[in-house]
Amino acid sequence: MSLPQLTSLNLIYEGSVKRVWQKAQTSDNHLWFEFTDDYSVFDWGKMPDQIENKGKALAIMGAYLFNVLAKNDIWQKTFKNPHPSLKIDKSWLNEFAKNDIVKELQTNGLSHHFTRIVSQNDKTLADVEAINCKDPIYLEVLKANVIRPQIEEVFGQKIFYYPQINTDIKQRLIPLEVVFRFGMPEGSSLKNRLAKDPNYYKQIGLSRCPKENEWFGQPTIEFFTKLEPKDRLLGLQEAILISQLTNDQFQTLIALSQSIAICLGNIFAHANIELWDGKFEFILNNDQILLADSIGPDELRLIYKNCHLSKETIRKYYRKTQWYQSMLKAQEMAVNDNSLDWKDICVNRLKEKPESLPHNFKQAINYLYGSLTNHLVGKKLFPNQLELNKLAEELTNAFT
């Protein structure tokens, strides 16, 4: 698919599922995120298929959740009267609510980088207008500098060197993915880490090693790299160093991540959806930490009546393919070869690429993003979508 011809915008970044634009010939301090109908799993990049309504649904759902989280009343309700199905230990929650970060959220709501949904001609769009817009729609967000690591070689090994941040830079991306977990469902990568190191649970603040499909009673936090070819698990010490945050700022990052996770868990609990885990990205705006990127099923693991309403459903299909096994082998070979390009190894040496989704499964997946948006927002924004009960049934039947 060719890029839209936008004379008023400059394309400054194109990923596998998202494009980032900036207004041309202006000092405007914002960027425009364009979410496409493409999808990616296992850090592979763009997969063979597209999913109907995905781009617009992610924009509308992201805008909806940013706006909800910005209001202080949602934080007051979450910590004073959480939904009964929210899987949080009540005594832990009551103690956590005494945190200054929680008190600030209950007073002023969440600060984030989102400003509005816009059309190609810079018109602010309401959700219904965004659905009916024939041209691409965009999330307008506060601009932040992205300071990428440099690849260096030390003792024959390729490493990522994160340069010292210039103190004159007032707005920058914190180069971490902050992963929260309420539990360990089937398919969780945490299970593999615990299998390799049974004591790893202590590093994430748990009192004992959890079992599959067990809830923790509190959100745990892990850190991964954001700006490397493959997300790399970080120990706490390396995460602090890479972030280049002060001690107080890093403590705020952790408390803020846990707070947002709890609030989102409560929001989805009211929609009869379980939030098991997810990831956040943040920017540092002067000395204030702002939630960035987007919020939706591409960042969150959502389960409705034992059915995954996120990319995990697609991951489950691909885990059964030869391509997935070859991809894991390619990653091992890349480590042995001191190479960063495991994808090239998979394609050119192992001769494996991901196949397209089967027709019946693809038909069910096409309803995922539109149906979830309608259910969460409480409006039938996307026409001709399945109710969640029917969607869960279709996805389950298609997968089996």
DSSP state of 112: B
- Looking at the fold, whether 299 and 325 belong to one and the same domain comes out as no
- Looking at the fold, whether 338 and 247 belong to one and the same domain comes out as no
The residue among 274, 303, 332 that closes a domain is: 303
User: What integer pLDDT is reported at residue 330 of this predicted model?
Assistant: 95
- The values of phi and psi at residue 67, to 5°, are -65, -40
* CATH number for 178: 3.30.470.20
Number of domains in the chain: 2
How is residue 356 written in tokens? 């397209």
- Looking at the fold, whether 200 and 284 belong to one and the same domain comes out as yes
User: What integer pLDDT is reported at residue 309 of this predicted model?
Assistant: 93
- Looking at the fold, whether 296 and 325 belong to one and the same domain comes out as no
165 in a structural domain:
no
- Looking at the fold, whether 212 and 341 belong to one and the same domain comes out as no
Single out the residue of 124, 107, 113 nearest to residue 72, CA to CA. 107
DSSP string covering 278-339: EEEEEEEETTEEEEES--STTTEEEEETTEE-STHHHHHHHTTSHHHHHHHHHHHHHHHTT-
336 in a structural domain:
yes
Residue numbers of the chain with a pLDDT score lower than 70: 1-7, 399-400
User: What integer pLDDT is reported at residue 366 of this predicted model?
Assistant: 96
- Looking at the fold, whether 221 and 95 belong to one and the same domain comes out as yes
User: What integer pLDDT is reported at residue 196 of this predicted model?
Assistant: 93
- Looking at the fold, whether 342 and 193 belong to one and the same domain comes out as no
Would you say 237 and 223 are in contact if contact means Cβ atoms under 8 Å apart? no
Sequence-separated (6 or more) residues with CB below 8 Å from residue 255: 99, 101, 102
Q: How far apart are CA 71 and CA 75, in angstroms?
A: 8
34 in a structural domain:
no
312 in a structural domain:
no
Map residue 215 onto helix, strand or coil.
Answer: strand
60 in a structural domain:
no
Sequence-separated (6 or more) residues with CB below 8 Å from residue 22: 9, 10, 12, 28, 30, 31, 32, 143
- Regarding pTM above 0.85, the answer is yes
Map residue 176 onto helix, strand or coil.
Answer: strand
Q: Which domain holds residue 397?
A: 320-355+387-400
User: What integer pLDDT is reported at residue 86 of this predicted model?
Assistant: 96
295 in a structural domain:
yes
- The values of phi and psi at residue 121, to 5°, are -95, 20
Instruction: Kindly report, residue by residue over 192-236, the tens digit of the pLDDT.
Output: 999 999 999 999 999 999 999 999 999 999 999 999 988 999 999
- Looking at the fold, whether 252 and 334 belong to one and the same domain comes out as no
DSSP state of 275: E
164 in a structural domain:
no
- Looking at the fold, whether 215 and 330 belong to one and the same domain comes out as no
76 in a structural domain:
no
The residue among 303, 337, 366 that closes a domain is: 303
User: What integer pLDDT is reported at residue 400 of this predicted model?
Assistant: 65
User: What integer pLDDT is reported at residue 1 of this predicted model?
Assistant: 41
Sequence-separated (6 or more) residues with CB below 8 Å from residue 8: 23, 24, 122
- Looking at the fold, whether 267 and 399 belong to one and the same domain comes out as no
- Looking at the fold, whether 229 and 327 belong to one and the same domain comes out as no
- Looking at the fold, whether 299 and 330 belong to one and the same domain comes out as no
User: What integer pLDDT is reported at residue 361 of this predicted model?
Assistant: 93
